[in-house]
Amino acid sequence: MKNLYLVVLLTLILPLFTNIVLAQCDGVTLESLTNPGSFEVETLTEADGIRNGPDYFGATIYYPTNATPPFSSIAIVPGYVSLPLSVQDWGPFYASHGIVTIIIGTNSLYDFPEARANALLDALETMRQENTRVASPLEGALNLDQLAVSGWSMGGGGAQRAAVLDNSIAGVVALCPYLNNPQLNHKSPVLIFSGENDLIAAPSQHADIHYNVTPNTTDKVLFEIENGNHYVANTPNGGGGAVGRIALSWLKLYVEQNDCYCTLLTDNLLMDSPVVSKVEQDFECESDNDGIGDVCDNDIDCDGILNENDNCREIVNPNQSDLDNDGIGDVCDNDIDGDGVMNDVDSCPNTPLGEEVDANGCSESQLDNDSDGVMNDIDLCPNTPTGEAVDANGCFTLPPNNFTIEATGETCPNKKNGQILITANEVYNYVVSINGNQYHFTNNKTISDLLPGTYELCIEVPENDSFEQCYSITIEEGNTISGKSSVTSNKASIAIEQGTAPFNVYVNGITVLNTLNTSFTIDVKHGDLIEVKTAKSCEGTFLKAIDLFENIKVYPNPSKGLFEVTLPISEKEVVAELYTMDSQLISKGTYQVVNGKVQMSLENQPTGVYVVRIYLDTPVNLTIIKE
168, part of any domain: yes
Q: Are residues 151 and 103 in the same domain?
A: yes
226 Cβ partners below 8 Å, 6+ apart?
196, 275, 276, 277
Look at residue 297 in the predicted model and tell me its pLDDT.
Answer: 54
535, part of any domain: yes
Say if residues 105 and 99 touch (Cβ distance below 8 Å). Answer: no
- What is the tens place of the pLDDT at every residue in 558-591? 999 999 998 877 788 999 999 999 889 999 999 9
547 Cβ partners below 8 Å, 6+ apart?
526, 527
Look at residue 292 in the predicted model and tell me its pLDDT.
Answer: 52
Q: How far is CA 57 from CA 43, 85, 384, in A?
A: 17, 13, 36
Q: Are residues 231 and 82 in the same domain?
A: yes
Question: Rounded to the nearest 5 degrees, what angle is found at the Cα of 272, between the Cα atoms of 268 and 273?
Answer: 100
- Pairing status of strand 453-461 against strand 430-434: antiparallel
Half-sphere exposure of 552 (CA within 13 A, CB side): 21
The residues that bridge with 223 in the sheet, in sequence order, are 193, 279
CA distance 372 to 288: 58
Q: In three state form, how does the secondary structure of 537-606 look?
A: HHHCEEEEECCHHHHCEEECCCECCEEEEECCCCCCEEEEEEEECCCCEEEEEEEECECCEEEEECCCCC
**465 pLDDT above the threshold of 80:** no
The residues that bridge with 458 in the sheet, in sequence order, are 433, 470
CA distance 576 to 597: 12
The residues that bridge with 152 in the sheet, in sequence order, are 175
CA distance 243 to 263: 17
Of the residues 250, 282, 314, the one at which a domain ends = 282
Say if residues 287 and 293 touch (Cβ distance below 8 Å). Answer: yes
Counting the structural domains of the chain, the total is 4
377, part of any domain: no
What is the torsion angle, in degrees rounded to the nearest 10, for the CA atoms of residue 432, residue 435, residue 438 and residue 440? Answer: -30
pLDDT band at 508 (very low <50, low <70, confident <90, very high): very high
Domain enclosing residue 471, as ranges: 403-475
- What is the tens place of the pLDDT at every residue in 173-227? 999 999 999 999 999 999 999 999 999 999 999 999 999 999 999 999 999 999 9
**34 pLDDT above the threshold of 50:** yes
Buried b (16+ CB within 10 A) or exposed e, 120-143: bbbbbebbeebbebeebebebbbb
Radius of gyration of the chain (CA): 46
364, part of any domain: no
- Pairing status of strand 585-592 against strand 418-424: unpaired
Q: What percent of the chain has pLDDT over 90?
A: 62
Q: Are residues 220 and 263 in the same domain?
A: yes
Q: Are residues 53 and 183 in the same domain?
A: yes
Say if residues 266 and 282 touch (Cβ distance below 8 Å). Answer: no
Q: Are residues 150 and 176 in the same domain?
A: yes
Least confident of 286-300, 424-438, 458-472, 595-609: 286-300
Look at residue 14 in the predicted model and tell me its pLDDT.
Answer: 38
pLDDT band at 436 (very low <50, low <70, confident <90, very high): confident
**127 pLDDT above the threshold of 70:** yes
Say if residues 367 and 359 touch (Cβ distance below 8 Å). Answer: no
Per DSSP, helices labelled H in 255-395 are 260-264
* Nearest C-alpha neighbor of 221 from the set 278, 152, 282: 282
What is the torsion angle, in degrees rounded to the nearest 10, for the CA atoms of residue 470, residue 471, residue 472 and residue 474? Answer: -140
123 Cβ partners below 8 Å, 6+ apart?
53, 56, 59, 75, 77, 102, 104
Say if residues 150 and 169 touch (Cβ distance below 8 Å). Answer: no
Catalytic residue IDs: 153, 198, 230
Of the residues 547, 563, 589, the one at which a domain ends = 547
Say if residues 189 and 246 touch (Cβ distance below 8 Å). Answer: no
Least confident of 92-96, 255-259, 365-369: 365-369
**22 pLDDT above the threshold of 60:** no
Look at residue 24 in the predicted model and tell me its pLDDT.
Answer: 60
pLDDT band at 370 (very low <50, low <70, confident <90, very high): confident
Q: What percent of the chain has pLDDT over 70?
A: 94
- What is the tens place of the pLDDT at every residue in 466-495? 788 999 999 988 888 899 998 876 789 999
CA distance 510 to 473: 42
For CA atoms 304, 310, 316, 318, the dihedral sign is negative
CA distance 178 to 103: 19
CATH code for position 266? 3.40.50.1820
24 or 134, which is more confident: 134
Give, rounded to a whole angstrom, the gap between the first and last alpha carbons of the chain: 136
Q: Are residues 98 and 233 in the same domain?
A: yes
From start to end of 24-155, where are the E strands?
41-45, 59-64, 71-77, 99-104, 142-152
Of the residues 514, 547, 580, the one at which a domain ends = 547
129 or 498, which is more confident: 129
User: Would residue 410 be called left, alpha or beta, if left means φ above 0 and alpha means ψ between -120 and 50 degrees?
Assistant: beta
240, part of any domain: yes
**15 pLDDT above the threshold of 60:** no
**553 pLDDT above the threshold of 90:** no
Is the full-model pTM beyond 0.85? no
Q: Are residues 183 and 259 in the same domain?
A: yes
CA 281 to chain CA centroid, nearest Å: 44
Q: Are residues 468 and 510 in the same domain?
A: no
**3-state secondary structure (DSSP) of residue 42:** strand
Say if residues 191 and 207 touch (Cβ distance below 8 Å). Answer: no
456, part of any domain: yes
CATH code for position 540? 2.60.40.10
CA 532 to chain CA centroid, nearest Å: 54
429, part of any domain: yes
Q: Are residues 445 and 573 in the same domain?
A: no
Look at residue 584 in the predicted model and tell me its pLDDT.
Answer: 92
Say if residues 126 and 102 touch (Cβ distance below 8 Å). Answer: yes
Element (H, E) at 183: none
Say if residues 181 and 211 touch (Cβ distance below 8 Å). Answer: no
Burial status of residue 175 (CB atoms within 10 A of its CB: 0-12, 13-18, 19 or more): buried
Edge-to-edge strand list for the sheet holding 573-580: 585-592, 573-580, 608-615, 620-626
CATH code for position 448? 2.60.40
CA distance 568 to 410: 42
Half-sphere exposure of 38 (CA within 13 A, CB side): 7
**3-state secondary structure (DSSP) of residue 313:** coil
Q: Are residues 471 and 578 in the same domain?
A: no
**3-state secondary structure (DSSP) of residue 87:** helix
349 or 156, which is more confident: 156
Look at residue 525 in the predicted model and tell me its pLDDT.
Answer: 82
Q: Are residues 540 and 563 in the same domain?
A: no
* Highest mean pLDDT: which range of 23-27, 41-45, 405-409, 552-556: 41-45
CATH code for position 600? 2.60.40.3080
CA distance 477 to 129: 55
pLDDT band at 38 (very low <50, low <70, confident <90, very high): very high
**421 pLDDT above the threshold of 60:** yes
Please spell the DSSP secondary structure of 121-133, one letter per residue.
HHHHHHHHHHTT-
**91 pLDDT above the threshold of 70:** yes
Q: Are residues 523 and 587 in the same domain?
A: no
- What is the tens place of the pLDDT at every residue in 386-418? 878 888 888 888 888 899 999 988 877 888 889
- Pairing status of strand 503-507 against strand 510-515: antiparallel
- What is the tens place of the pLDDT at every residue in 260-296? 999 889 888 998 789 999 999 999 875 334 345 444 4
Look at residue 490 in the predicted model and tell me its pLDDT.
Answer: 77
398, part of any domain: no
User: Would residue 227 be called left, alpha or beta, if left means φ above 0 and alpha means ψ between -120 and 50 degrees?
Assistant: left
Mean pLDDT value across the chain: 89
